[in-house]
Amino acid sequence: MDYDPTIPGMPTALGAAITLRLRECGFTKIDHRGEGVYSRQVSPGIDVRVYTTVVNGDARGNGKDSIRVAAIYEATDGKTRGLVKNRRVHRTGNIDDIVDRMHSRMRDVWRKAARPERCRCGAPKFVTKKDNLCCAEICWVK
């Protein structure tokens, strides 16, 4: 049966399936403005984060938001910068298919975050909006 947020119990079932898969994969929940955000460290300073759209155990209804997976780098100045992003996971189709697509995106981001290209200063590089590689520490300014 396809996911339909208007059917009672469906958002809870999807929310439970998402959180179960994340916990099976070793992700832990972090506090992030009410939304269920899960994180797992790839290497020191680099985490893969999954923005689940699960709030209070229920997946949100249809809308503009979707499940997002990204690799985040915590710079030495304490700020976080995105290193790797992937296509969004839309909550359409069967619940198992939604969770499988999320898992696939998690694996893709993990693979890219595990071996980032490094700057001469040792920090990982990320791809800018103009498709250029840029140091995550922004070392050329210092």
Inside any domain, residue 47? yes
Inside any domain, residue 93? yes
Number of domains making up the chain: 1
Of 54-63, 89-98, 100-109, minimum mean pLDDT range? 54-63
- CA–CA separation, 142 and 138 (whole Å): 8
Residue whose pair of structure tokens reads 């990320």 in the numeric block: 126
Inside any domain, residue 56? yes
Domain holding 109, by residue range, is 10-117
Inside any domain, residue 20? yes
Q: What Rg, from alpha-carbon coordinates, does the chain have?
A: 16
What is the per-residue pLDDT for 49? 96
Per-residue confidence at 142, pLDDT binned at 50, 70, 90?
Answer: low
Inside any domain, residue 30? yes
Inside any domain, residue 134? no
- At a CB cut-off of 8 Å and minimum separation 6, what does 101 contact? 89
- At a CB cut-off of 8 Å and minimum separation 6, what does 13 contact? 95
Q: Are 69 and 39 in contact (CB under 8 A)?
A: no
Average pLDDT over residues 18-38: 91
The whole model's pTM is what?
0.89
